Structure 1
Amino acid sequence: MANTAFDNLRLEKGMYKEAMSKGKTFTQYLEDVDSSKNYDDGLDAFERQLKRFDIHIKGKNANVVEKFFATDDSAILFPEYISRTVLTGLEKANILPAIVATTSKIDADTYKSIYMDDGEGSKKRKQLRRVGEGALIPATTIRTKEKVTDIFKYGRTLDVTYEAIRRKKLNVIEIFFQQIGKQIALDMAFDAINVIISGDGNKNAADIFTLGDETIGGASGTLTYDEYIAFWAEFDPYEMNTVLAPKLQLKDILTLPEFKDPQAGFTFQKDGKLISPLGANLVRSDQVKDLGIDGIVGLDKGLCLEEVVEQGITTESDKIIDRQIEKTVISRTGGFNKLFQPSAKVLKWK
């Protein structure tokens, strides 16, 4: 006999506050009280509630917004619908997975990360050495950073009334909510790249090189494969496996003769995946230009950046449930830490 416990679940406003107090989303809270392990329908706990109230959110048969407010119970679902839809848009536009080494969830509004010092010459290649009897073994020191991580709220305020959207189809409304998520993603990416370049306030800004200088060589403003190789070589013992490039610098890299090999060209033309010389993941990032850098940022993705998240996507649930949607805030709270200073470097064109 099919499990129908979800049909009898009492939904209340207070569930959102209780979920937040536990550091969970509303969907995760529903999973605690109505676990998907008890079903074989391929749905999560929130999707089962949509099914319960016959709410269709996608396709040509999508309902209007008003369907959520047909009953007091079903109205409780609308804030989570907004949060999930905004998160979908954020993930579509988000470049953070390409540049973040790890994500830490915190339950406070302040956070201090750690740093590691492996002794003098930490930017140079380390070699294993025999340690003589009675001699000191080289030390690696891990300490708490002096400056706390800056935590910001990234979000948008909805300037729309319930009356303006109540008869709009949900498959149309989701496009606008997803766009809010995309804007939040752009704001977060700007701060993340700023930390990669300028550091997190703990004296760990990226080293900066310029085309034409004594280290990189070449001519100012003109990138050739030789200069790209010289920049790549500065990462040893780290690995330059990701390159952030604005539009013009992206064009310069993509048009290098060494990039125009048949396999790279075929891959780019077939599915649009960017392959840069030396195998680094090439990510378009106009935020680099917005931060005043006429050039590119190279990084060792696995050792560079920590994302700190206090809250996921949140909405002012009480206002939304009461249909007071105007001036409702949709937000995400978090910040970024630089893990290893030498793991990111900047190459300026001039």
Structure 2
Amino acid sequence: MSVQSAERVHHETQHLTLEILAKRPAADGVVEVVLGSPDSAELPAWLPGAHLDLHLADGLDRQYSLCGSPGDRGTYRLGVLREPASRGGSQLVHEGLAPGQSVEVTGPNNHFELVSSPRYRFVAGGIGITPLMPMLEAAEREGAEWSLTYMGRSRATMAFLDEIVARHPGKVEVCPNDEVGILDLAERFGTVQEDTLVYACGPEGMLRAMESATAHWPAGSLHLERFAPKDAELLTKDRGAFTVRFTESDVEVEVPEDRSIVEVAEEAGVPVIFSCMEGTCGTCETRVLCGEVDHRDSILSDEEKAENDVMMICVSRAKGDRLELEI
């Protein structure tokens, strides 16, 4: 299986009922969850960077990166960090799920595709290692040059650390804060490396540091995946009203300043699919046919936003008075 080209890949969303086959510690505060089909059927294919939406109790939907091997069509593997400050999803996974139980999922979906390149530099912070694990395997299989910088509070908190180091000797730089301190990413990425792509996932502070450290690199060099909105304040400020026409449904609606396109579409009976409502998961990505978009998501690159071809309708809005969307 080869890595992906630069073109964004879209897959039809699939809804599945899976069984928890195993659940075990992966590090302090992290559990590994292994899912499979109750009848041992082959699972939908996926590529590095993909995630699943878990539909948990109390109406909570959460996205978790697939960290196993795409070649394994019998199981999906997730790593879930317990976050005390979260809204309850990680607590439900840690305390409410057990082997033998069923769980509803949607996906796999992918908005963090691995673009083909002769060289990669991977940077992980904490649980941000999970989407990168299949990428390491793909880069190795393709014969690309690569290295991984893996940061965490301590070795004990760094999920799958021993497994990754054992599989890729000599290519993994282990950087626990309690041993080496906080890395100077600006220094590490000060020299531009030609024909090299950088993939990073981790806490927002690290990602902002990566954006600053690679600002002088060629456009498109840095690829990020965020767990939370890049700018939460942007989601609610300067929200004007506008009109949206859903061309496939032949429905036209007014979107007031205090509501999202998703909310208004649902009320009008338009079949929309969504999950995070924060512009971070990509489930609601929709093709734009007419109108200029006020992009407020944390997924699309600056280049993709400038193309104005797609938008995340859970948070993004119209710059003008009207949009036409292919729904």
TM-score, scaled to structure 2: 0.24
Q: Which has the higher strand share?
A: 2
Computing the radius of gyration from Cα coordinates, the structure with the larger value is: 1
Q: Which is richer in helix?
A: 1
Give me the TM-score of the superposition, normalised by structure 1: 0.23
